[in-house]
């Protein structure tokens, strides 16, 4: 069943979900916590549309695949074709912001990294990209600014765009010079420090903050047990 993108008020968007473009290690503190070098340019990978599930409906983690980590991320919804755009115009065709989890099979990813193999098996599996509804740009303002993620009432991750190695407009510009972004594509902009394993029965809550620091969107969800 294909995933339906929706606005934060639950109305449907005119677009079907395309590709989910992810950026790795966009917050220096997160690169450090996994003993990864800080990249000199954005590190990109893609999840297929089939990876998406509704973040507010219970979802399951892969069984017997080792630790599955939460990476809470600011998600950006693209509303029109973007190709070879300059950073100063990069937000023109962005229509909304939301919350995503870039779920990662960390043990498996470590093994793949050791061998120098691609990450897809650890990153692109079914339900690896829980997505929230999107807050339209008119409500969000120019750019979302921060994200907070709690598991079972404990704050695990908190980050804002000032901590990003590559800003959201620069990221969109960079991506658009490699491949075309289309209406319905979603960009996951990297995760702040504090990633860790999720387990069956965990309950989580995430907030998306606007430029004024105010919460623009809150979602809650749980891991199916």
Least distance from Zn ion to the Cβ atom of residue 191, Å: 4
- By beta carbon distance, the residue nearest Zn ion is 102
d(CA 163, CA 29): 9
Q: Take residue 126 and report the two structure tokens written for it.
A: 């079914």
| Dihedral class, residue 9 (left if φ above 0, else alpha if ψ from -120 to 50, else beta) | alpha
State the Cα–Cα distance between residues 134 and 155, nearest whole angstrom: 22
CB of 65 to Zn ion, least distance (A): 17
Q: Strand runs (DSSP E) across the chain, as ranges?
A: 4-6, 12-16, 20-24, 43-47, 52-54, 68-70, 72-78, 94-101, 104-105, 129-131, 135-136, 146-151, 154-160, 186-188, 196-197, 203-209, 215-222
SS3 68: strand
In the complex, least distance from residue 30 CB atom to Zn ion, rounded to whole angstroms: 8
CA 81 – CA 125 distance, rounded (Å): 26
Residues 49/128/6/213 CA torsion (nearest 10 deg): -130
193's CB contacts (< 8 A; 6+ apart) are: 27, 29, 30, 32, 33, 157, 159
Residue appearing with tokens 């996951």: 188
Closest approach, Cβ 97 to Zn ion, in A, equals 16
Shortest separation between residue 163's beta carbon and Zn ion, angstroms: 14
- Find the shortest distance in angstroms from Cβ 138 to Zn ion: 27
- Residues near Zn ion (CB under 5 A) are 71, 102, 191
């Amino acid at each position: 069943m294909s995933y339906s993108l929706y606005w934060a008020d639950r109305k449907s968007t005119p677009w079907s979900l395309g590709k989910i473009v992810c950026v790795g290690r966009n917050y220096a503190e997160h690169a450090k916590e996994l003993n990864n070098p800080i990249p000199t340019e954005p590190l990109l990978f893609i999840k297929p549309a089939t990876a998406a599930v509704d973040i507010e409906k219970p979802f399951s983690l892969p069984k017997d695949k080792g630790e599955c980590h939460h990476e809470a991320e600011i998600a950006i919804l693209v509303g029109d074709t973007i190709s070879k755009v300059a950073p100063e115009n990069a937000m023109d065709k962005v229509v909304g912001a939301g919350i995503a989890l870039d779920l990662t099979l960390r043990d498996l990813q470590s093994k793949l990294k050791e061998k120098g193999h691609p990450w897809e098996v650890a990153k692109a599996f079914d339900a690896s990209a829980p997505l929230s509804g999107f807050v339209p740009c008119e409500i969000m303002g120019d750019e979302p600014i921060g994200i907070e993620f709690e598991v079972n009432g404990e704050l695990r991750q908190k980050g804002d765009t000032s901590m990003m190695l590559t800003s959201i407009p620069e990221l969109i510009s960079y991506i658009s010079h490699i491949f075309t972004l289309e209406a319905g594509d979603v960009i996951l902009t990297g995760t702040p420090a504090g990633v860790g394993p999720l387990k069956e029965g965990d309950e989580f809550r995430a907030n998306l903050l606007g430029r004024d620091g105010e919460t623009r969107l809150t979602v809650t969800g749980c891991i199916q047990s």
